[in-house]
Amino acid sequence: MSVTEFAGVTKDKDRGISSTGGLYEFWTEEGAHVYLHDTAFRRLTYEPGRPPTLKLEFVYDPQWTSLELSKTPIVVFRFEDVRLVEWYEDQEGHDCVATDPDAPPGQVGLFAWDGTDMFTLDTFILRLIFHAPLAAVTVRAE
């Protein structure tokens, strides 16, 4: 069983990505503190090429963006050699978002890494489980 290799994340074991802390809080190689709890899931892009890739995009709410990320409030995870296990969209969540302007379509309930190569993402309307041996994290401007 392989262990995912992360690029763009600090190698400091106390500030990097861990299976116990999940993907919610870590520091980039450049020292930017990423705290996904203050972001909303915005976009998923799956490309079934060789290798299959998956991009997950999170964006900070301007009122919660730290000073160090104010110019680059978008956090992008790019996973390579992806094997999808489960992709489930909740119709009730979609219906709620369509009828209630205050419904949080990008709210993340869980973004976990099991310490090997399996990831789980649960949002207000989506559940995604996948394997990926390579992951790169970047922050960028709008």
Q: What 8-state DSSP symbol labels residue 28?
A: B
Is the CB of residue 23 less than 8 Å from the CB of residue 40?
Answer: no
Q: What 8-state DSSP symbol labels residue 18?
A: B
What predicted TM-score, i.e. pTM, was given to this entire model? 0.90
| Strand 74-80 to 53-60 pairing | antiparallel
- State the Cα torsion 90-106-121-60 to the nearest 10°: 180
Residues 95-101, mean pLDDT to the nearest whole number: 79
| Strand 74-80 to 134-140 pairing | antiparallel
Whether the predicted pLDDT of 1 surpasses 70 = no
* 17-29 tens-digit pLDDT: 887 777 888 999 9
Output Rg (C-alpha) for the chain, integer angstroms.
15
Model confidence at 63, in pLDDT bands (50, 70, 90)? confident
Distance of alpha carbon 134 from alpha carbon 87, whole angstroms: 20
